């Protein structure tokens, strides 16, 4: 079994090395080899079919479910629609970014991502991880060919 897993991992690694889109996605903090290859394999050229990053996040089930009526808006947990594997990979990657940030804070260093800092000040780390995963839906722009490289402001955690 371990030999089969090793062979499959080698095939994924080789495919990743020859795929430009997968390599660009892997540069984003919280997105590694498996997540990048899964995103390109599942969404790939269909990314142009999404109007914006938010539509991709909704497709992946990373947006809150709404229970609204009248003028009162109530947001619940994430909708969990779409591909559970991709959603799980994005959330686990975002959770790693949040944990890295918390380690940076404990060491007394500052973070160049005020959005994440403010979010963690008012939300539980798991909620912050899902919000960070939702934010990572910027992969839409990379896959649709709208940008060449993610900007430092939206790509994640950077130390000053």
Q: Are 104 and 111 in contact (CB under 8 A)?
A: yes
Distance, in Å, from the CA atom of 77 to the CA atom of 96, rounded to the nearest integer, reads 20
Flag whether pLDDT at 2 surpasses 90.
Answer: yes
In sequence order, the 6+-apart residues with CB closer than 8 A to the CB of 83 are 42, 60, 61
Task: Note the pLDDT tens digit of each residue in 22-68.
Answer: 888 888 888 999 999 999 988 877 888 888 888 888 888 888 777 77
Q: Residue 160: inside a domain, yes or no?
A: no
Confidence of residue 6 (pLDDT cuts 50, 70, 90): very high
Cβ within 8 Å of residue 131, ≥6 positions away:
94, 119, 123
Helix (H) or strand (E) holding 65: strand 64-66
* Rg, the chain, Cα only: 17
Is residue 32 assigned to a domain?
Answer: yes
Alpha carbon distance 71, 36 (integer Å): 40
Do the domain assignments include residue 62?
Answer: yes
Tell me how many degrees the CA angle 119-87-136 measures, rounded to the nearest 5.
Answer: 45
Model-wide pTM > 0.75: yes
Q: Is residue 107 part of a domain?
A: yes
Considering only residues 160 and 133, tell me which one the structure prediction assigns the higher pLDDT.
Answer: 133
Q: What are phi and psi for residue 146, nearest 5 degrees? A: -80, -25
Tally the domains of the chain. 1
Q: What is the pLDDT of residue 139?
A: 83
Q: Which residue has the tokens 């960070």?
A: 132
Q: For residue 155, what pLDDT is reported?
A: 45
Decide if 24 is inside a domain.
yes
Q: Which two tokens mark 68?
A: 């609204």
Which percentage of the chain shows pLDDT scores above 70?
Answer: 86
Q: Is 17 domain-assigned?
A: yes
The pLDDT confidence band at residue 150, using thresholds 50, 70 and 90, is very low
Domain range for 102: 2-155
Question: Residue 97 is encoded by which pair of tokens?
Answer: 């970014």
Residue 66 forms part of a structural domain: yes
Q: How confident is the model at residue 146 (pLDDT cuts 50, 70, 90)?
A: low
Tell whether 103 is covered by a domain. yes
Find where tokens 């963690």 sit.
120
Which helix (H) or strand (E) segment holds residue 76: the answer is strand 75-78
């Amino acid at each position: 079994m371990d030999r089969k897993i090793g062979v499959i991992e080698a095939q994924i690694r080789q495919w990743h090395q020859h795929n430009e889109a997968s390599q660009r996605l892997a540069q984003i903090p919280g997105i590694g080899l498996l997540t990048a290859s899964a995103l390109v394999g599942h969404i790939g050229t269909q990314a142009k079919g999404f109007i914006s990053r938010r539509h991709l996040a909704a497709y992946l089930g990373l947006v809150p479910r709404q229970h609204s009526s009248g003028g009162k808006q109530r947001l619940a947990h994430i909708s969990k629609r779409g591909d559970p594997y991709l959603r799980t990979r994005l959330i686990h990657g975002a959770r790693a970014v949040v944990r890295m940030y918390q380690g940076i804070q404990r060491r007394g260093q500052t973070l160049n991502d005020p959005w994440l800092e403010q979010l963690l000040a008012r939300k539980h780390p798991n909620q912050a991880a899902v919000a960070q995963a939702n934010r990572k839906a910027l992969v839409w722009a990379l896959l649709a060919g709208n940008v060449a490289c993610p900007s430092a402001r939206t790509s994640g955690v950077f130390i000053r």
